[in-house]
Amino acid sequence: MLSLILFVLGIILLIKGADVLVDGSSALAKRFKVPTIVIGLTIVAFGTSMPELIVNVMAAISGNGAIAFGNVIGSNLANILLILGVAACITNIKVKKSTIWKEIPFSLLAVLVLFIFMNTQFFDNLGGTTISRSNGLILLLFFVIFLYYVVELSRRKQNNVEAEEIVIKKLSTLKIFVYIVGGLVALFFGGKWTVEGAVMVARWLGMSEYFISLTIVAVGTSLPELVTTIIAARKKNMDLAVGNIVGSNIFNIFWILGLSALITPIIIPAFALYDVIVLCGTTFLLFIFMFINKRHELERWQGIIFLLIYIGYVYHLLIRG
């Protein structure tokens, strides 16, 4: 019971800690007259990925590579199949051409690069595979390329909608300090308790740590994206809904997994290759859906398909154990 309490409390601290840290950091940046668009592309963008990052860093340091890898793959699958599926069920989602032809393919590239890394080492070691430090460095280099693309895109669209959607709280100097320090402390203990809780819950349920990270941990750390996407869909800000998901998926593989592997090589089970294949197919299906029936639009029936696939996938994981 204690392990379950620690696990739940850890996820709550991760989400709240990331939220508070973003508010404090954004207020500090605004005080130094940093443009809103820059804050959105850096502090807010990185802040929403903080739960996954902290969990992965803690897992990597403690040698729980299965949790680090499962969290990234599980989060990406939940982002598309669960979160985007729910958003599409709320309302049809129109997507801009730039997202379809640039961001989604870049997200697919991230999965393909990971797939290549796993296949190369899978045939060298039939007992499992490893995301090495050199692999992590390559992933981070891809992330730098993606950041360069985002910055260049923002320069051409200084008055885009996303920038105006960011609300920055006005805080006193004391509150800024408390928010930043408090957020960092919450993230530290949240990540520590989430990883430790996941290990204990897995043992308690008689399931693998990889399964827990692929499902419960992944969905828990994806809650910020879930909230952001649903709000965006209800406000009819369609492209922000899809852009948030695709951007998060790119961040997860290139930035979070890359940094985790750079800290320490991530050893993962050989059967995890199947989950990467599912993620690859899911990302490609999102791209294909943009050209079926209503072009450049994710419809309700497609959102239902995403949800059904996710339910079927989780059921398969339960059988696999």
**Residue ranges of domains in the chain, CATH in brackets:** 2-320 (1.20.1420.30)
- What pLDDT sits at residue 62? 82
Q: How far is CA 230 from the centre of its chain?
A: 16
Stretch 120-128: mean pLDDT: 55
Could you tell me the end-to-end alpha-carbon distance of the chain, in angstroms, rounded to an integer? 21
CB 52 within 8 A of CB 256: yes
| Secondary structure (3-state) at 50 | helix
Q: How sure is the predictor about 302, in pLDDT bands with cuts at 50, 70 and 90?
A: very high
- What pLDDT sits at residue 27? 85
Q: How sure is the predictor about 161, in pLDDT bands with cuts at 50, 70 and 90?
A: very low
Q: How sure is the predictor about 321, in pLDDT bands with cuts at 50, 70 and 90?
A: low
Amino acid identity of residue 47, one-letter, is G
- What pLDDT sits at residue 40? 59
- What pLDDT sits at residue 242? 77
Tell me what the pLDDT averaged over the chain comes to: 82
Q: What distances in angstroms separate CA 167 from CA 63, 89, 162, 170, 288, one per listed residue?
A: 38, 27, 11, 10, 34
- What pLDDT sits at residue 172? 86
CB 201 within 8 A of CB 3: yes
pTM of the model: 0.84
Is the pLDDT at 160 greater than 60, yes or no?
A: no
| Higher per-residue pLDDT: 277 or 199 | 277
Between 29-38, 191-200, 231-240, the lowest mean confidence (pLDDT) is in: 231-240
For residue 299, what is the DSSP state?
-
- What pLDDT sits at residue 303? 94
pLDDT per residue over 206-242, tens digit each? 888 888 889 888 888 887 777 767 776 776 666 566 7
